[in-house]
Amino acid sequence: MTIEEKPVMSMSEKTARRWIGERGVKVEDIAELVVYLQKPYHPDLKLEDAMEHVEAVLRKREVQNAVLTGIQLDMLAEKKQLEEPLLSIIQTDEGLYGLDETIATAIINVYGTIGLTSYGYIDKQKPGILQFLNDKSTGQVHTFLDDIVGAIAAAAASRLAHRAAHTE
C-alpha cells in the first residue's frame, strides 16, 4: 500500500478509540462480548475474527459520534462539571433517564435492527467488561459507556452474522 492509498484515521476515530481505551475498555474486551453473543451460532469463532468486526464498527462515523458524545458526558459527570439536575441523573445512572440507551441505539441501527435483541440480551446478562462498567463502587461514571460498549458488540455480532449468512 502506498502512502497515498493509506486510509487516514480521522480525528473523530482517533479520539473515540483513545477515549474508549482511557476509560478502561480494550477492543479485545468488546470482541469477547461478540464471541459471547455468537457462541451458540458460531462455536469456533476466534477472538481475532470477532476483533475484525469490532474494528469495522469503530470505523463508522455514526459510531464515533455516539462514542464521543456519550463518553464526554460520562467524563463531565465524573468531574462534576455538569449542571443539576443532569449531573445527579448521570452520576447515579438513574433508571428512567434512558438517553444512554438512545445513544446506543444509534450504533446498533448502523447494521439494522437485528442487533437490538443482542444488545438487550447482553445488557441483562452483563458479561465480561460490562460487569466492570456497571460496578458503582469504583467512583467512575460509565452511564453511557456501558451501553455504548454493549451496542458496539451487538453491532459487530450483526455484521458477523450478515457476512456469515452470505458466505455459507
Binding site for Mg ion (CB under 5 A): 100, 143, 146-147
Give the nearest distance from C-beta 102 to Mg ion in angstroms.
11
In terms of Cβ atoms closer than 10 Å to its own Cβ (0-12, 13-18, 19+), residue 131 is exposed
Give the nearest distance from C-beta 163 to Mg ion in angstroms.
29
Residue whose CB is less far from Mg ion, 77 or 160? 77
Asked if 101 and 147 count as a contact pair (C-beta separation under 8 A), the reply is yes
Longest dimension (CA), the chain: 53
Asked if 152 and 63 count as a contact pair (C-beta separation under 8 A), the reply is yes
Residue whose CB is less far from Mg ion, 51 or 75? 75
Give the nearest distance from C-beta 146 to Mg ion in angstroms.
5
Give the nearest distance from C-beta 128 to Mg ion in angstroms.
16
Give helix 99-108 / helix 61-78 axis angle, nearest 10°: 160
DSSP state of 135: -
Residue whose CB is less far from Mg ion, 29 or 100? 100
- Residue number of the CB closest to Mg ion reads 100
Residue whose CB is less far from Mg ion, 56 or 132? 132
